[in-house]
Amino acid sequence: MPSLIQQLGGYGVACGIAIGRAHLLAPSEFEIPKYHIAPDAVLHEVARLNNAFSLVRAEIKELRADVAETAPAEVGAFLDLHRMILDDSLLCDAPRDLVRTRHINAEWALTIQLEEVCRQFEAIDDEYFRSRSQDVRQVVERVLRRLAGERSARVPLPKHADTGEATILVAHDLSPADVLHFREHSGVAFAGFLTEIGGPTSHTTILARSLGIPAVVGIAGVRERVGEGDRLIVDSDSGRVYLRPDADILAESRRQIRATTQQRAGLRKLRGRVAQTRDGVPVELLANIELPGDARDALEAGADGIGLFRTEFLFMNRDDLPSEDEQYESYAKVARTMKGKPVVIRTLDVGADKVLNPGAHAGSSGTRDGDGSGPQPNPALGLRAIRYCLAYPDLFLTQLRAILRASEHGTVRLLVPMLAHLHEIEQAIAFVIRAQEQLTERRQKFDAGIEIGGMIEVPGAALNLGPFVRRLKFLSLGTNDLIQYTLAIDRTDSSVAYLYEPLHPAVLQLIHHTIRGGEKAGLPVSVCGEMAGDGTASELLLGMGLRRFSMSPAQILPIKQRIFDLDTKAAARLAARVARMHDPMEIRSALQRADRAARRGDK
């Protein structure tokens, strides 16, 4: 009789299937001692704290030194980030001050400061930056373990390591450093991992995706449902985990692994081919990146350029603002890496809802009272993106000068987020002109013909395209925010997340209207939200007239294969049928049927 198969659901990182034996890690939470100390014990307690930080720095440094030159750029970048967190004064200096002023033990002081920093992060509307609190917790946990006297914060080996079977880690949470250590230094076959927390934007998830490690995260209570040594199948493409599968499921999973291996080998052959439809229409496939090192991954995936360089990462987790030279070096590195291919750099998309430490505003003049760093009652509708930059002109001009200087090293384009009004477009252009004048006065080189584009992510902008097509050179549809604002759904609120529907007819009408409006005006339009990398939506977007898709580097080759299967005339007929539908479920079914037909080569 076959064994019972339990399916556990979570968020998969889309890196295939893994089969192995479960190794349960001890929960990351442990009791934090809290007590007051005598005044003459303050120096000793501060020394304990300093020593714990030093030991963890040494661990991170050792891991960083072991990173192979051929490893994905994210590997070193995430270790560098954790090292930066260790050096952040909010975590290494503030706890020492608490020990001195409140006469409390090091663990208590560090935990107080951790919760304060995480409160700031968790008030952020943007999911990617909100999830950075997880990195802070992971780093602080390593320090706390050192304070508790543990010899190392590294992951222990499983008891079944000598059986020859692959190991799948099961944990409440894993840090990028833990994943790297277990993969590179454990001496066992590491097949994948499961965690109880985490999401698509956690650095552990991103690292797993870049390294091709199958994983499913965000499975509530998984440690209570899986036993040590249980056989697991981790299907990271579907986000499902099979617990104690029977022989039939094992055989099918092994067949899928072989098929996936062959498919990936076939996809790699597409890197050098120009993306075009079955009827010969060329399509641009661009990459979205967060870090300068990601540009190398974009090239490896055969990207036609960078469609969205999110610059916020340079401004986060620090007490100051990045200087013009620091920003210039980052932007120029991407431009040089892409070797003449277009690089679209988005200006700072941060707001009062996102964490720029209060100290970062020192010396940055603004047009508003206060420093704008505190949380707002409704941050999604508050001072963010272009509104924020216009409120802090020195910050905006500094970034514009850095981008302009980088334009000398490649085909750089400038993208302004969350535009909604004509006066915002005019002000943004005026700031670019002012930055150009300042560089001219300094006799510094830049591309005087740099193209300026705008993001369409507010319904009001999509419905009033006239000012955009008259004043700008290209448009970029940010579908994530466009969906949120069109449907009045906070996509970070789990109680209403089920209403976040990319295929809602109103959303599709705004997308189609924008693509058509750009086409009539002769302006290129791209889609840079999650829809661009969704293979099911590819034919619909193509049928609406989209010819420029921007997505994660890992999604480029699968979407390129999808494009080869499509015909623009059939896609246009599909878009016309969908335009007459009013139910997202009906639309999804129509797209799935069209997807199957295209893969079969039906006309």
Averaged pLDDT for residues 392-418: 97
Q: Is 39-147 in CATH node 1.10.274.10?
A: yes
Higher-pLDDT residue of 146, 574: 574
| Contact status, residue 4 vs residue 208, Cβ threshold 8 Å | no
Of the candidate ranges 202-206, 264-268, 347-351, 597-601, the one whose mean pLDDT is the lowest? 202-206
561-584 pLDDT, tens digit per residue, is 999 999 999 999 999 999 999 999
The pLDDT of residue 14? 65
Q: What is the pLDDT of residues 529-558, one digit of tens each?
A: 778 988 889 999 999 999 999 998 888 999
Q: What is the dihedral of CA 3, 191, 193, 528, to 10 degrees?
A: -120
Give per-residue pLDDT as tens, 457-497: 999 999 999 999 999 999 999 998 899 899 998 765 656 76
pLDDT, tens only, 325-372: 999 999 999 999 999 999 999 999 876 344 455 455 544 555 444 444
Using the structure block, give the residue that is written with the tokens 């099961």: 170
Is 7 a residue whose pLDDT tops 70? no
pLDDT score of 374: 47
Q: Is residue 288 within 8 Å of 206, Cβ to Cβ? A: no
Which of 29-38, 412-421, 571-580 is predicted least confidently? 29-38
At residue 79, the pLDDT reads 77
Contact 169, 208 (CB under 8 A): no
Separation between Cα atoms, residue 491 and residue 130, nearest integer Å: 13
Which residue in the list 15, 92, 389, 528 is annotated as catalytic?
A: 528
Active-site residue, 118 included: no
Could you say which architecture CATH assigns to the domain 6-24+156-249? 3-Layer(bba) Sandwich (3.50)
Q: What is the pLDDT of residue 275?
A: 95
**Is the confidence at residue 260, as pLDDT, over 50?**
yes
Name the H helices within 88-186: 89-92, 94-102, 106-122, 127-130, 132-147, 176-185
Q: What is the pLDDT confidence band of residue 182, given thresholds at 50, 70 and 90?
A: confident
Give me the pLDDT at residue 367, please.
47
Backbone conformation region of residue 244, classed left if phi is above 0, alpha if psi is from -120 to 50, else beta: left
The residue assigned the tokens 């302004």 is: 416
Which CATH code fits 275-600?
A: 3.20.20.60
Summarize the confidence of residues 262-283 as an average pLDDT: 88
Given the residues 203, 361, 409, 504, the one annotated as active site: 203
Is pLDDT at 188 greater than 90 in this prediction? no
Q: Which residues pair with 475 in a beta bridge?
A: 454, 525
Task: Write the single-letter amino acid at 571.
Answer: A
Is residue 314 scored above 60 in pLDDT?
A: yes
The arithmetic mean of pLDDT across residues 270-276, rounded, is 90
What's the pLDDT tens digit per position in 196-243? 877 766 667 777 776 778 888 888 888 888 888 889 999 888 888 999
For residue 161, pLDDT over 60 is answered with: no
Rounded-to-10 torsion of CA 580, 581, 587, 593: -60
Q: What are the CA-CA distances from residue 562 to residues 31, 200, 526, 555, 557 (Å)?
A: 51, 23, 17, 11, 9
Phi, psi of 445 (to 5 degrees): -80, 150
Distance CA 562, CA 548 (A): 14
At 260, list the tokens: 């996936």
What pLDDT does residue 399 have? 97
**DSSP at 36:** B
Kindly write down the DSSP assignment for every residue of 304-332, as one continuous string.
SSEEEEE-GGGGSSSSSPPPHHHHHHHHH
Whether the pLDDT of residue 5 is over 60: the answer is no
| Helix, strand, coil distribution of the chain in percent, nearest 5 | 50, 15, 35
SS (H, E, C) 93-116: CHHHHHHHHHCECHHHHHHHHHHH
Residue whose structure tokens are 């002023």: 101
**Is 50 exceeded by the pLDDT of residue 3?**
no
- 186 falls in which pLDDT band (50, 70, 90)? low
- Mean pLDDT over each residue of the chain, to the nearest integer: 84
CA 279 to chain centroid, in Å, comes to: 34
Q: Would you say residue 9 has pLDDT above 80? A: no
Name the residue among 453, 447, 451 with its Cα closest to residue 407.
447
Min mean pLDDT across 30-44, 94-108, 429-443 is at 30-44
Lowest mean pLDDT among 79-88, 188-197, 201-210: 201-210
Answer whether residue 71 shows pLDDT above 50: yes
Q: Running DSSP on this structure, what letter comes out for residue 351?
A: B
Beta partners for residue 326, in sequence order:
none
Residue pair 11/84 in contact (Cβ under 8 Å)? The answer is no
The span from the CA of 588 to the CA of 503, in Å, is 7
Q: What confidence category does residue 11 fall into, taking pLDDT thresholds of 50, 70 and 90?
A: confident
The sign of the dihedral angle between the CA atoms of 473, 526, 557, 129 is positive
Domain positions in the chain: 6-24+156-249, 39-147, 275-600
36 included as an active-site residue: no
Residues 72, 76, 79, 80: is their CA dihedral positive or negative?
negative
Looking at the chain, the number of H-run helices and the number of E-run strands are 24, 16
Give, rounded to a whole angstrom, the gap between the first and last alpha carbons of the chain. 46
Residue range 275-312, pLDDT digits in tens: 999 999 999 999 998 888 889 889 988 999 999 999 98
- 346 residue type, one letter: R
